[in-house]
A and B are shown apart, each in its own frame.
Chain A
Amino acid sequence: MSTLHLPWLELAILVAFGAAAVVARDEDPDRRRARSIVGAAAVAAFALGAMVDFLTVGTFEAHDRWDLLAWLLGHDLLVVDELSAPLLPLTALTFLLTILSTLRTARLRFSFAHALVTLGVTLATLTARDPLLLVALLVGGAAVPLHEQRVKGRSVRLYALHMGSFAALMGLGLLLRWLAPAAAPWVFALALAVRIGLLPGHLWVLDLFERGSMGTSILFLTPMVGIHGFLRLVLPDASPELLHVLRVASGLSALYFAGTALVQRTARSFFAAEFLCHSALVLLGLSLDSSLGVTGGLSIWLSAGLAMTGFGITVRCVEARLGRLRLDTYHGLRNAMPALASFFLVMGLASVGFPGTIGFVAGEILVEAAIDASGWLGTGLVLVAALNGLAVLQGYFRIFAGPPHSSPVDLRSRRPERIAILILSLLVLGGGLFPQPGIASRHHAALEFLGRHHGGDPAGPHGAHGPAPAALPSDRPAPTDR
């Protein structure tokens, strides 16, 4: 296997845990935040270094130079490949910007130490190669929100029930890898369906957003490590039947969450529904098992990761000033928070793939791949996009339109929030105006992934465009391959 020039991965993870240890001992909330920012920035720098270094190496996968863990254990534990390389700096950036945008009012309640631990665990999860380690990290990572909720005296029953099921199924899946390998992907798929919140195992996600810390929920969910689990543990060995089940489940979930986003009563549950929808769309793309579909899924993973992070940070910033936001009334906040209003709109439009934003071409690719697979699936996907667009603008109007909100204090965004907002906006709009490099890299990763798991045929078993499409209305012939 190729080698990076420096031990970027280990450094990133070690710095994350080290910073968490330092921050946990700090009493002063402002100093905790400042040190967390420094720590997260360092991790982001190492993660970016890992990606850039990986690009210069020019292979599908690579491990750290002077890999301490490999030296100790005799095999590579942490590996970066084309699938995970851009996710590392994206994840680190998500954490950095969330920490940066934490207002003073929230510093006492938000656990910076937990955030850094979650960062380290997430990076390790995204680079774990060994299935046992990956399962352990996925299960262990779920413990952080559990611990945080317990410490704050909140009910953990729902969360524990779901994550307990997830952990048990993951353990069973590991066992079946040796005993009955054909069944293992099914069990892993069931476990990870709970983890990513596919219908009907999604209740814990809504509950976590409603009752937990918004910041912690964003950090726990937006990297979509559950999807990563699908990529490593399910899709390489998935049978056509399992892929079909995943397509149907993710398609129905996406449609369901897009519809429920329109009727959610709080900003948090609205955000949670939008997130679950995008998560399902990513899985849908990956399960189409065509180079176009996997490209679409990987591209939406990146675009939705950025957009949903921005979206979530905006909601968090608004709530930090005004408390929980109900969406059954108009709040009239645009004049009081003009920058946040613009940001909400830009991020919301990016999340639904508006032209000029990062998700546009990714969405087009996914729709095309879905129509290749089935006209009805493609049409359903278009309907999901339409509903998401409706929900985003409705959310915008409910929060920022209406009789102007009057407040004795200045509610405008502070400099750290503006910096976070600006960075994300530039990435979202820049990626939208110049999508080719990002899309091409995801496409190459998709081809490599499919090639490795379909006997060397990079187009997959069904070709570039997936399985033969299902019949459409009777007087329309099925589209032909180009």
Chain B
Amino acid sequence: MSVADAVQLAGVVTVIAPSALLLALGLPALLGIRSSEETISRLTQASVLIGLVAALVCLVHMLATGNRHVPLEVGDWVVLHETDFHFHLKFIYDRLSVPFLLLSYVLVGTIGAFANRYLHRDPGYGRFFLLFAVFLQGMVWASLAGTIETLFVGWEFVGLSSALLVAYFEDRPNPVRNGQRVWSVYRLADAAFLVAAVALHHAVGHGDFDAMLGSTSWPEGRSLLEGSENLWIGLLLLVAAAGKSALVPFSGWLPRAMEGPTPSSAVFYGALSVHLGCFLLLRVSPLIEASPTLAAAVVGAGLATALFATAVGSAQTDIKGALAFASLTQVGLITAEIGFGLRYVALVHMLGHATQRTLQLLRAPSILHDFQAMENAVGGALGPGPGRWTSRLPLGVQARLYQLALDRGAMDNGIEAWVVRPFLALFRGAVALEARVTARLRGAPAPPPDGDAGQGEGGR
């Protein structure tokens, strides 16, 4: 086997390692076979290690040969020749994907090791690691995606696993409600992504990033889209990124997502998933560069998010909430950096932030212990810290700002009041009307306003 073949094989292994894990965990679950914690743990370790080693082989090869752009063509998963419709699977190893891939494997492995102990004997252990495998699959595919449709597949996997892990503690209504909320935002982001992907196909005939952005290695490349196409597709991708990365006005889901177990909070909202939107923007950065309007929108979204998160984070009363908004502040800054065209800065920022925040989130359950340990080391109580500039404002203004921060900018409430409730009320009204019309047509009395037209009859 030649070196090139070995590297090609390593590339394939990085892609299929998480798929193999998903199959190994998912198939027994489907057949109703319960795997032991040890089996699950070993399978996860093996998959992550094998994938990581394979990714390192690719990295070493790329460094040694100076080749910064290595495509792995899988081919057309589906093709309809007469219509030019094709679903092309392709993976790229470049300056953007390889660091993110390595980050994914390292952090998933680390957090997996943490979760193995943290969730030991938890009834949901198997469920956690199954969803973890779904997440790893999604992250690897999204990182390495060479076509927009491949990225979309990874994107969806990350979203589903994220929402289901937020609702991990499903015996309580709040995590479940928050899981549904996270899923709602993700579906909106997915919708924008899908429209962008189809529009891209229409514009250039395919979704290949190399062909769309010039067949050069990231971050070089230029958009091959025309002016308004570039803008609209870019804006749709910005909406998708905003939903995934909790940029304003979709920031409300991030603190809610902290309902999940600490390992998932760390990997999703500190490390990887929350940066996926930024990753998408980095991947399509030539589109941003080609459109000043789009770039301004990206910068605006990023800075608004950073300011918002800074303000709100300062009023949080629990450690995970504070860390969530601290994460969001950095995500906002990373987004702004991308808008300004500082791609390497954004990438390095992302990698550093992800690792630091992972550590903080994994230590979050021990915050009191750590605080006391620090006080013991210092030999006394730690001071309250330097005062904020806001302490110079009138008390009334401080109180209002505090209230606004505590309400998280009232964005969630605003979306709930102006979008969600009217939308649901419209359809509830329609369903109530259906019940009345149905009752009339059946010659039955009108149903009560609480609308229970269906009970009491019907067999199986």
- State the A residues within 8 Å of B (CB): 102-103, 105-106, 109-110, 152, 154-155, 157-158, 161, 203, 206-207, 210-215, 256, 259-260, 262-266, 268-269, 291-292, 295, 316, 319-320, 324, 330, 332, 334-335, 338-339, 342, 346, 349, 354-356, 361, 364-365, 367-368, 371-372, 378-379, 382-383, 385-387, 389-390, 393-394, 397, 400-404, 418, 422, 425, 435-436, 439-440, 443, 447, 458-459, 464-465, 473, 475-477, 479-480, 482
Judge whether B457 and A211 touch: CB under 8 Å.
yes
Q: How far is the CB of B189 from chain A (nearest CB, A)?
A: 9
Q: How far is the CB of B5 from chain A (nearest CB, A)?
A: 26
Residue in chain A with minimal CB distance to B80: A443
Judge whether B443 and A157 touch: CB under 8 Å.
yes
A-facing residues in B360-404 (Cβ within 8 Å): none
CA distance A206 to B80 in the complex (A): 37
Whether B37 sits at the interface, judged by CB under 8 Å, is: no
Judge whether B454 and A402 touch: CB under 8 Å.
no
With A259-B427, A439-B80 in contact, do A371 and B198 touch (Cβ < 8 Å)? yes
Name A378's contact: one of B195, B232, B434, B451 (CB within 8 Å): B195
Whether B458 sits at the interface, judged by CB under 8 Å, is: yes
With A259-B426, A422-B30 in contact, do A324 and B78 touch (Cβ < 8 Å)? no
CA distance A43 to B83 in the complex (A): 36
A-facing residues in B131-161 (Cβ within 8 Å): 149, 152-153, 156-157, 160
With A157-B441, A213-B458, A435-B77 in contact, do A263 and B85 touch (Cβ < 8 Å)? no
> Could you list 14 A-B pairs, sorted by A, with CB under 8 Å?
A103-B460, A109-B460, A206-B434, A210-B457, A214-B459, A256-B430, A262-B427, A263-B424, A265-B431, A368-B201, A372-B202, A402-B173, A443-B82, A475-B231
A213 / chain B contacts, CB cutoff of 8 Å: 458-460
Whether B194 sits at the interface, judged by CB under 8 Å, is: yes
CA distance A176 to B226 in the complex (A): 51
Q: How far is the CB of A60 from chain B (nearest CB, A)?
A: 16
Whether B210 sits at the interface, judged by CB under 8 Å, is: no
B184 / chain A contacts, CB cutoff of 8 Å: 390
Judge whether A464 and B459 touch: CB under 8 Å.
no
Whether B452 sits at the interface, judged by CB under 8 Å, is: yes
Name A477's contact: one of B188, B228, B454 (CB within 8 Å): B228
With A155-B443, A260-B431, A367-B194 in contact, do A324 and B454 touch (Cβ < 8 Å)? yes
A389 / chain B contacts, CB cutoff of 8 Å: 183, 187, 190
Q: How far is the CB of B101 from chain A (nearest CB, A)?
A: 19
Judge whether B458 and A206 touch: CB under 8 Å.
no
CA distance A480 to B153 in the complex (A): 26
B149 / chain A contacts, CB cutoff of 8 Å: 364
With A316-B460, A355-B156, A476-B228 in contact, do A265 and B430 touch (Cβ < 8 Å)? no
B167 / chain A contacts, CB cutoff of 8 Å: 397, 401
Extra inter-chain contacts (7) besides given A210-B458, A443-B82, CB under 8 Å: A152-B459, A158-B438, A262-B424, A361-B87, A367-B194, A378-B195, A397-B179
Q: Which 6 A-B pairs have the closest CB atoms?
A: A479-B202, A210-B454, A401-B170, A106-B460, A109-B459, A464-B83
Judge whether A435 and B201 touch: CB under 8 Å.
no
Residue in chain B with minimal CB distance to A203: B438
Judge whether A157 and B199 touch: CB under 8 Å.
no
Judge whether B459 and A355 touch: CB under 8 Å.
no
With A263-B428, A371-B202 in contact, do A397 and B176 touch (Cβ < 8 Å)? yes
Judge whether B170 and A402 touch: CB under 8 Å.
yes
Judge whether A364 and B87 touch: CB under 8 Å.
yes
Residue in chain B with minimal CB distance to A433: B77
Judge whether B460 and A320 touch: CB under 8 Å.
yes
CA distance A260 to B424 in the complex (A): 8
Name A214's contact: one of B199, B426, B460 (CB within 8 Å): B460
B84 / chain A contacts, CB cutoff of 8 Å: 464, 482
Q: How far is the CB of A104 from chain B (nearest CB, A)?
A: 11
Residue in chain A with minimal CB distance to B189: A386
Judge whether B82 and A479 touch: CB under 8 Å.
no
